[in-house]
Amino acid sequence: MKVLDRKKMIAVNGALLALLAASLLACALIGPVAIDLKRALADFFSPDAEILFRARLPRVLLGAAIGGGMAACGVVLQAMLRNPLACPQMLGVSGGASLGGILGMIFFPHWLLPLAGGLLGEVSWVPLAAFLGALLSMGLVYRLALFHGRLHPYHLLLTGVIFNSFVAALIMFLNSIVDFYQAQGLLFWLMGNLSTRAYPTVAFIAAYIAAGFLWLWSHGLRFNLITLGEEAALQLGVEVASVERQAFVATSLMIGAMVSVSGMIGFVGLMVPHVMRLLVGSDHRLLLPASFLAGAIFLCWADTLARVLLAPAELPVGIVTAFFGGPFFIYLLYREGRRLPV
């Protein structure tokens, strides 16, 4: 195994971190309504400050956290499943989270808890319902993919795809029996949005994603060995079955938390890892942090496009990511197909 190049690690991640900081500032200032940054900083009760600190900044921060988390999960799933087309949405956990969130929106639509008299926003019970749905689906998919005490990547992937299809049918049924206004809200949430404005929610999700990412990053060397093949990894002392189980649980919990507040935002975990793998190589000790930062940058700008393209109307950010991700998926499928033996 090649020794990690620390100079390359610092240079790549330093450049991406600087680009992320610039993107956070730019995306917070860009919007359908122009704001004066000096006035916003001078008077926290001015309209400019209201727009910047209550509407845009928490949304941009949430987009960065979720974009980074999705990209990191994509890197690990592609390594664990030995499938270049694997992405977070394939596990089935996102489908369970979506179903839980929709049930929460239908049955508890007005359960909001104001924070600090409303100054910090409101916390909804919908994310909690979505997270519970993710936990239940994670347990079910994990159990169905477990044979003789071992987690089989092929069965895990197939179970996740089938479970998502079943959940999609349930969601369509629920969408057909609710009233028009509820159906519109459910559809908008399903396509992905980052409209939450509660700083405590953003902080909790960011801390949760950061904890999961740090665990994945600490196992970067093991992921490198697993990509060499199960037999080679076992000979080098890696407990492949144990690492796969832990990685599945960690990524599932991260995906459940992210979907619970943002809905279904696809393709981030598919595109970003491939692009960064081409740029920085396949060493997961470098690929994981680089993909995390690049995913954060990508989703920040995708959400900014969603806010300004049809202003004053707003697109779900999932539409923007799908616009880029759909052609990219077709390209990957074509590339992998050409590698198959005739």
Residue 44 domain flag: yes
Per-residue confidence (pLDDT) for residue 106, from 0 to 100: 81
Count the neighbouring beta carbons within 10 Å of the beta carbon of residue 119: 10
Angstrom distance (rounded) from CA 312 to CA 283: 43
Per-residue confidence (pLDDT) for residue 306, from 0 to 100: 92
pTM: 0.87
**pLDDT, tens digit, 9 for 90 and up, residues 89-104:** 777 888 888 888 888 8
Residues in the chain predicted with pLDDT less than 50, given as ranges, are: 116-120
CB 71 within 8 A of CB 140: no
Per-residue confidence (pLDDT) for residue 337, from 0 to 100: 65
CB 76 within 8 A of CB 247: yes
Among 81, 94, 72, smallest CA distance to 209 is for 72
Residue 68 domain flag: yes
Per-residue confidence (pLDDT) for residue 151, from 0 to 100: 72
List the domain range (segments joined by +) for residue 264.
6-339
Per-residue confidence (pLDDT) for residue 213, from 0 to 100: 95
Residue 15 domain flag: yes
In DSSP terms, 123 is beta-bridged to 113
Residue 330 domain flag: yes
Residue 1 domain flag: no
Domain of 163, CATH number, reads 1.10.3470.10
Residue 28 domain flag: yes
Residue 111 domain flag: yes
Per-residue confidence (pLDDT) for residue 114, from 0 to 100: 54
Domain total in the chain = 1
The torsion angles phi and psi of 209, rounded to 5 degrees, stand at -65, -40
The DSSP result for 284-325, as a single string, is HHHHHHHHHHHHHHHHHHHHHHHHHTTTTS---HHHHHHHHH
Instruction: Return the structure tokens found at 22.
Output: 């610039």
Per-residue confidence (pLDDT) for residue 216, from 0 to 100: 95
